[in-house]
Copies of this chain bind each other. A is one copy, B any other.
């Protein structure tokens, strides 16, 4: 399959993108990345999902924690704490270089797309990494502790508050970044990574022109379920689904993506009984690189079988 697009959030999605990058050469693979998690912290523009992609695809990611850089040091945080600075969001010494350069470039009028492309080129990343939009979109949660921005909920409060609703401020007027629509329309397959559907994929789908491009593209759209053995691998997916009154199963995932996807890749032992959807199966837990390549191959095979 020559041209593949993957819609992705951070940690879990990055694993699949890494797998795909071992199958789909260079710029034939385009990762369109959630920016609803982006925020300004201490005056710096942080793009967590883009950075996770950059670190993962350049071999710099801390494999154990799933975010940040391998061999990171924390002298900045130590000095920050001593000065009474907010320390709920960890900024590693090396990681800071991205945030400082990005913030400075944004202030000088560069776009997030341009900046991301520059970092990727510096690190020799062949896969195209596109932010979903250069316009600001903010994932916001209505919770029993009030309305919270994503990082406050996810990092500071460790997903403890009960969520009653999620929205994506700015999404309805956001324009896709340059190349996003074109990549979706020109793709031979579109894969939705096993990122959190509600927090990491929905922001992408909330950008009207991205949703429209997914409807228009001739390419099959295949999602990889974030559930493995009927459970969320990590993160707040299961807790969140419960709070939103959604059953934690693949039928619910399938219904959530109804109208967007043509196929769903689920874990070997799991089921999905939603009619009219092509179902693929493979062991979808991604620990080793072999796992990631296997899941990527299975997703592409499912899409291949759905091509017109």
Contacts and interface: CB of A to CB of B under 8 A. Distances in A.
A98 B82 CA distance: 10
A123 B82 CA distance: 8
A78 interface: yes
Contact of A103 (B43, B78, B79): B43
Name, among A83, A96, A100, A118, the residue most crowded by chain B CB atoms within 10 Å (CB to CB): A100
Contacts of A76: 76, 93-94, 96-97, 100
A124 to B, nearest CB: 11
A232 interface: no
For this complex, into which size category does the number of interface residues on chain A fall? 20 to 34
A85 B101 contact: yes
A84 interface: yes
B107 A79 contact: no
Contact of A100 (B43, B95, B118): B43
A275 interface: no
A99 to B, nearest CB: 9
A44 interface: yes
A79 B104 contact: no
Interface in A101-117: 101, 103-104, 107
Contacts of A92: 75
A304 B97 CA distance: 51
Nearest to A75: B93
A173 interface: no
Contacts of A79: 69, 93-98
Name, among A85, A92, A95, A122, the residue most crowded by chain B CB atoms within 10 Å (CB to CB): A85
A83 B101 contact: yes
Interface in A140-185: none
A43 B104 contact: yes
A101 to B, nearest CB: 5
Interface in A56-76: 69, 72-73, 75-76
Contacts of A93: 73, 75-76, 79, 93, 96
A90 interface: no
Contacts of A69: 79
A42 B105 CA distance: 8
Contacts of A73: 73, 75, 93
A92 B78 CA distance: 13
20 contacts: A42-B100, A42-B101, A43-B100, A43-B104, A43-B107, A69-B79, A75-B75, A75-B93, A76-B96, A78-B94, A79-B96, A79-B97, A82-B97, A83-B97, A83-B101, A83-B118, A83-B119, A84-B118, A85-B97, A85-B101
Interface of A: 42-44, 69, 72-73, 75-76, 78-80, 82-85, 92-98, 100-101, 103-104, 107, 118-119, 122-123
Given A79-B96, A79-B98, A80-B100, 4 more contacts: A73-B75, A75-B93, A76-B100, A83-B119
